[in-house]
Structure 1
Amino acid sequence: MNTLKRIMVGLDLTEMDDTLIRYTAFLCSISEIEHVYFIHAEKSLDVPDEVLESMPNGMPADEKLRTALVEKVESHFGSDSRVQIDVQVVEGTPLKELLHWSKVKHIDLVVVGRKFRMRGSGVLAQKILRNGRVSVLFVPENEGTILNHIMVSVDFSDYSLMALERMLNSSLLRPDVRITCLHVYQVPTGYITLGIHYEDFDKRMQGFARNKFEQVLARFPALKDRATLRLVKQENEDDVGELIMVECKRAKADMLVIGAKGKSAAALFVLGSVTEKILRFNDDIPMIVYKKKDEEIGFLDALLGND
């Protein structure tokens, strides 16, 4: 079952749009994505003349912007009619509009840019992630179009296994795509109390992880011939986000996949999750954060005023 049929791409009229459109076209070419919504939200469509001067005359601001975006999208997608394309320009707060339309259109994945040097703060992408409902793909500003090796961060929780299952069912996995399941573990300080040597406890923790991985392979038979387990020990002073990104780069992964627990509206601005720690260190690898759509009411309904 393909769990990746309808995606939404947030555009902001910066150089990042070219990267996002190009990468989205690449994903569509290797998968069974059926519908892509490109959406740009302006707080006010009373757009300055200098922004519109190179666009067709005799049109309202939203139509001028949409015409320009349609041309840019078509330049990357060409005449491929297999994927249905919808380009929209709407008025309103970008965060609220993207969340609203992702719910209305039953979007499986929102694609956003991960900026570092380009114009714009890139804060919107992280705010979308925090809403607690929609899965998000972060695309770095200089990303190329390749997907031969996917790394999935696995702690054997329900959330990481959900992410693994969603990836397996996403249609992004061509037969030649390799999967590495990355597990970061720690040696608990309890080994002292139990009278066990550190090295022995370390081996026990690795053995525990390998046993868990065998259970994962039994649950997802499709992984048996293409997935490997990569174990990394986290020392007390290590940042788990940095560790995961170092391993991704060391393994030359083309994409990182993680599962994240949703947050309620009350916890919206609480930082420190593993996801956000990874984002701090990830400047060049596309990353999908899968979430459970029906986990809780959360921030989206609080923002939109729904009961």
Structure 2
Amino acid sequence: MARANSLYALSDRPPRSKREMYMNSIARILAATDLSDNSMAALHTSVLLAELYQAELHVVTVVPARQGNTEDLLGKARKTIEVRAADELAKLCARLKKSPVNVQTRVVTGEVVPTVLQLAHDLKIDLTVAGTRGMGSKDLGSIGGVAERLAHAAATDVLLVRPDHSDLFNHICVAVDFSELSVMALKRAAEIARLMKVKELKLLHVLHLPDEYWLTGLSEKESLAKLSGFARQHMQEAVAGAGLKSLQTVECYEEGKPAETLARMAVANKADLLVMGSHGGTAASSAVVGSVAAKTIRAIPASLWIETDPKFKLGFLRALGKLMGLVND
């Protein structure tokens, strides 16, 4: 029966090694910071990444617009903010062996997320970096509203950095569901690992048994065994397609609900960075961030790199941005 066969559509996919997959290049990085203590780890990480990628670094502080003459108020504070941003960058760059290619700072007024999105578009940014929590946030283990909205809406890759992170990432995990975007995420994780001299990658796959598994005529145990076999086969193909020969890989499988299980696996593997695609194999074309990614953003207790598909997100978001008046051609 067709519906039953669709539960195991993985077995019909061609090997990933035969597909050409291209990541976004990282030549321009945008660090969005409110200069709070919680945001310093993200700023530090963006400077390190700019050094490793030899990328341009653009640092922006957005002062939220309020009633009254905001620009007059900003004019008085702008110099103070710019001086602090410059001081923090100078301290961070002094620790590096090789400074980033180019560093620019900006202080602007407006709504934080739309302003950052517009700036990322105007500057042709490849990676947007922000802290998971901003000014005044005491819950360091969860994602703040601004960070979550950036992750949902950015047309770039997004890196959300925990406030308690320091220096390089040492325990990198990547979520793999065998979609094209997850293979791109796998390649990105390998690239980051090599740049940061991490020798091992943990590959996380959630075995999610659809509610309709009984339509196959198999028991739950038999269905899980078959699904597990397909997953291991396709993991080998994904690893081969991503070119991970120089890295040690550890495959981790667990059954459960994708987002919750992925977060649990990240904790069990002591991940300080989880790399994942913004969409999985079943994401609807109208979603900017797939449902699993969206739930994982809220649940994950590690820094999170979200790999985007530039063809999909740029096309969708430019159309949406025009309707909302956020994007000007």
Which string of whole-angstrom CA distances, capped at 9 and with x for unpartnered residues, describes residues 230-282 of structure 1?
Answer: 11111xxxx432211111111112210110139999867xx981122112222
User: For 2:53, what is the secondary structure of its paired residue?
Assistant: coil
1:124 to 1:174, Cα distance in 2 relative to 1, 3 A: closer
Q: CA deviation at 1:301?
A: 3.9
Aligned to 1:178: 200
1:22 to 1:79, Cα distance in 2 relative to 1, 3 A: closer
Aligned to 1:77: 93
Amino acid at match of 1:133: A
1:115-264 pair list within 5 angstroms: 115=133, 118-119=136-137, 122-131=144-153, 133-169=155-191, 173-223=195-245, 225-234=247-256, 239-261=257-279
TM-score, normalised on structure 2? 0.76
Deviates more, 1:253-262 or 1:82-91: 253-262
1:122 to 1:186, Cα distance in 2 relative to 1, 3 A: closer
Q: Report % sequence identity.
A: 22
Distance 2:164 2:128 in 1: 19
Q: CA deviation at 1:64?
A: 2.8
CA contact (8 A) 2:29 2:50 kept: no
Q: CA deviation at 1:147?
A: 1.6
Aligned residues: 289
User: For 2:275, what is the secondary structure of its paired residue?
Assistant: strand
Aligned to 1:67: 83
Structure 1 residue 93 and structure 2 residue 119: aligned? no
Which string of whole-angstrom CA distances, capped at 9 and with x for unpartnered residues, describes residues 200-259 of structure 1?
Answer: 22221111001101111221232474222211111xxxx432211111111112210110
Structure 1 residue 36 and structure 2 residue 57: aligned? yes
Amino acid at match of 2:278: A
TM-score, normalised on structure 1? 0.81
Distance 2:135 2:99 in 1: 34
Structure 1 residue 113 and structure 2 residue 127: aligned? no
Amino acid at match of 2:267: K
Distance 2:227 2:285 in 1: 36
1:122 to 1:2, Cα distance in 2 relative to 1, 3 A: closer
**Structure with greater helix percent:** 2
CA-based RMSD: 3.1
- Unmatched 5+ residue regions in structure 2? 1-22
